[in-house]
Amino acid sequence: MGKLIVVVVVVAVAVFACMAFPFWSPPVEIEFRESWIGFGAVPIIHNVGEDELFDLEVRGDAPGGQTQTVNFYSLPPRTFQEAGWWQFDGWVPVRGETITVRARGYLFGKSVRVPFG
């Protein structure tokens, strides 16, 4: 009986946390355009939420373990920001690599794979 009560309490706390803190990942959409340097892709991060996002981290992960990070102070609602060759300090995301966007106040980031490049 004691274990059942513990399970019920844990489930109740988890449900409350989901309702009270819906900040699992930032409200962004990530799309890509072709890079102007002739190869690779440029991630375009859209803030689709109603609030400004702060302390954005855009991380690119290559299969070999190479990681590049770009930081933006903020992204106003209903706007977008590109993270290309210049922002990534000479690195260009290519097909199969992963782009992850994180923001202050959100538990997880949102990740997508680069579809071309």
Could you tell me the CATH number of the domain that includes residue 55?
A: 2.60.40.10
Task: Give the whole-angstrom CA distance, residue 42 versus residue 22.
Answer: 29
Name residue 5's beta-bridge partners.
Answer: none
pLDDT value for 41: 97
Q: Say how many domains are in the chain.
A: 1
Give a yes or no: residue 78 inside a domain.
yes
User: pLDDT confidence of 21, banded at 50, 70, 90?
Assistant: low
Q: Which of 1-5, 18-22, 33-37, 59-63 has the lowest average pLDDT?
A: 18-22
Give the model confidence (pLDDT) of 67-115 as tens digits: 999 999 999 999 999 999 999 999 999 999 999 999 999 999 999 999 9
Give a yes or no: residue 73 inside a domain.
yes
At residue 10, does pLDDT exceed 80?
no
Give a yes or no: residue 89 inside a domain.
yes
Give a yes or no: residue 1 inside a domain.
no
Give a yes or no: residue 62 inside a domain.
yes
Domain range for 47: 24-113
Give a yes or no: residue 102 inside a domain.
yes
Give the model confidence (pLDDT) of 37-79 as tens digits: 989 999 999 999 999 999 999 999 987 888 999 999 999 999 9
- Find the mean pLDDT for residues 22-50: 94
In order of 11, 46, 55, 70, 117, the CA distances from 80 in angstroms are: 37, 4, 14, 14, 21
Give a yes or no: residue 63 inside a domain.
yes
Give a yes or no: residue 88 inside a domain.
yes
